[in-house]
């Protein structure tokens, strides 16, 4: 059945090679998903070799973990690993059909990435953004071919979250949208078409809850108390565990975008800001069960 709003599948272009810009956690998860589900070559780029190596290393490590769990046969794992390569240059994207960016959530950075990409990729290459909350329309504004940009927004952890928000900007072409839906089908994700509105649909709704959680945090409710209070409520993850997984800077960017668009309905959190300013990545120590605050986080407040 065709998803609501999706153009006909016959318009979709074949995707035989994929580029991923950024080699952070989200980008690396995407590279792994593309290689595993689609079996196509995936090239991961970032600004320096160290980041690229880290991204490719993440993919190899995750594949090894799947083999160790008995989830992936060794020959399939070897193939998946070989499909993901890294490069500091965007030249390998010259013959890619689909390039997605998952770089820092800053409009100017994303625009710069797309300008560099357009200098390298073929005219038919589809460009996508995994932005959580920025305007896809604004990202397309200076493109030579704005019709080829589409929002392709995944959720953490990418391997298990079934949803994908596909964002249509005013100039996104039907063939590009159809290809995005076909790609989502290949990835076995449930794709929904959403408007290019601040934080789209899921994050906009989720941030109403998270805004109250961080407001209580600002007013003195310790994170472990808020999590303990909400643990029996049946959420798949308690709020601060979710914040830690998504990443505090990403959460803060989404909050800022929504605050800018809708004002006090999405209050900014001073504590979240302080934690980000102090480069605190998570409130919880990595191995903790979500009940132990790490000293760095406490010191930053
Ligand atoms: N990577 C890969 N697989 C993972 C994983 C990860 N980081 N975390 C968990 N999994 C897998 C496990 O291996 C397990 O797979 P299996 O059943 O095949 O063994 C499966 O997920 C279930 O894991 P667990 O049993 O350990 O734990 P849970 O039952 O608690 O499920 C969860 C984990 C699916 C992550 C669940 O806690 C959940 O749904 N949490 C909410 C996540 C969420 O809301 N994400 C959206 C955040 S917003 C966002 O990303 C948008 C962005 O723009 C900010």
Per the domain annotation, does 4 fall within a domain?
A: no
Per the domain annotation, does 254 fall within a domain?
A: yes
* 210 and 152 in a common domain: no
**CA 160 / ligand 1 centre spacing (Å):** 6
What CA–CA distance (Å, rounded) separates 259 from 217? 18
- Residue 281, pLDDT score: 74
What CA–CA distance (Å, rounded) separates 290 from 229? 12
**CATH number of the domain within which 184 lies:** 3.40.50.720
pLDDT block averages, 10 residues each, the chain of length 301:
87 97 94 96 97 97 96 93 97 98 96 97 97 97 97 97 97 97 97 96 96 94 89 92 90 96 96 89 58 61 74
Q: Does the C-beta of 242 come closer than 6 Å to ligand 1?
A: yes
Nearest CA residue ID for atom 27, ligand 1: 236
Q: Does an H or E element contain 127, and which? A: strand 126-129
CA 281 centroid distance within chain: 17
- Residue 224, pLDDT score: 85
For the chain, how many structural domains are there in total? Answer: 2
**CA 237 / ligand 1 centre spacing (Å):** 9
Per the domain annotation, does 3 fall within a domain?
A: no
- Residue 287, pLDDT score: 40
* 164 and 112 in a common domain: yes
Q: Which two tokens stand for residue 106?
A: 């800053």
Q: Does the C-beta of 157 come closer than 6 Å to ligand 1?
A: yes
**Four-point Cα dihedral 60, 61, 67, 73, nearest 10:** 0
Q: Does the C-beta of 285 come closer than 6 Å to ligand 1?
A: no
- Residue 31, pLDDT score: 97
Q: Does the C-beta of 234 come closer than 6 Å to ligand 1?
A: no
* 94 and 47 in a common domain: yes
Residue with tokens 């590279």: 31
What CA–CA distance (Å, rounded) separates 85 from 28? 11
* 70 and 176 in a common domain: yes
**CA 71 / ligand 1 centre spacing (Å):** 16
Kindly report whether the peptide bond that precedes residue 143 is cis, defined as omega within 30 degrees of 0. Answer: no
**CA 173 / ligand 1 centre spacing (Å):** 33
- Using a 10 angstrom Cβ sphere, with 0-12 exposed, 13-18 middle and 19 or more buried, the burial of residue 160 is exposed
- Using a 10 angstrom Cβ sphere, with 0-12 exposed, 13-18 middle and 19 or more buried, the burial of residue 299 is exposed
Q: Does the C-beta of 203 come closer than 6 Å to ligand 1?
A: yes
Per the domain annotation, does 161 fall within a domain?
A: yes
What CA–CA distance (Å, rounded) separates 13 from 9? 9
Output DSSP code: residue 26: H
Structural domain boundaries enclosing 136:
9-195
122: left (phi over 0), alpha (psi -120 to 50) or beta: beta
């Amino acid at each position: 059945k065709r998803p609501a709003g999706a153009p006909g599948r016959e318009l979709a272009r074949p995707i035989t090679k994929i580029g991923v810009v950024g080699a952070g956690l989200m980008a690396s998860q995407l590279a792994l998903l593309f290689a595993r589900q689609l079996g196509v070559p995936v090239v991961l780029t970032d600004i320096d070799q160290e980041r690229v190596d880290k991204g490719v290393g993440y993919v190899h490590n995750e594949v090894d973990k799947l083999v160790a769990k008995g989830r992936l046969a060794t020959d399939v794992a070897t193939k998946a690993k070989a499909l993901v390569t890294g490069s500091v240059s965007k030249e390998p994207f010259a013959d890619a059909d689909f390039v997605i960016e998952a770089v820092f959530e800053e409009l100017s950075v994303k625009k710069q990435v797309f300008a560099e990409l357009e200098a390298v990729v073929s005219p038919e290459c589809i460009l996508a953004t995994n932005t959580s909350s920025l305007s896809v329309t604004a990202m397309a504004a200076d493109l030579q071919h704005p019709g080829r940009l589409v929002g392709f927004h995944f959720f953490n952890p990418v391997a298990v979250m079934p949803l994908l928000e596909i964002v249509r900007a005013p100039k996104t072409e039907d063939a590009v949208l159809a290809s995005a839906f076909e790609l989502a089908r290949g990835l076995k994700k449930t794709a929904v078409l959403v408007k290019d509105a601040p934080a789209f649909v899921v994050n906009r709704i989720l941030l109403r809850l998270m805004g109250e959680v961080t407001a209580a945090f600002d007013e003195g409710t310790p994170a472990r108390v808020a999590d303990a209070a909400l643990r029996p409520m049946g959420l798949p993850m308690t709020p601060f565990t979710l914040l830690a997984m998504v990443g505090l800077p990403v959460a803060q960017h989404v909050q800022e975008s929504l605050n800018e668009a809708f004002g006090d309905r999405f209050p900014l959190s001073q504590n979240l800001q302080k934690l980000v300013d102090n480069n605190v990545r998570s409130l919880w120590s990595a191995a903790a069960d979500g009940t132990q605050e790490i000293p760095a986080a406490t010191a930053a407040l």
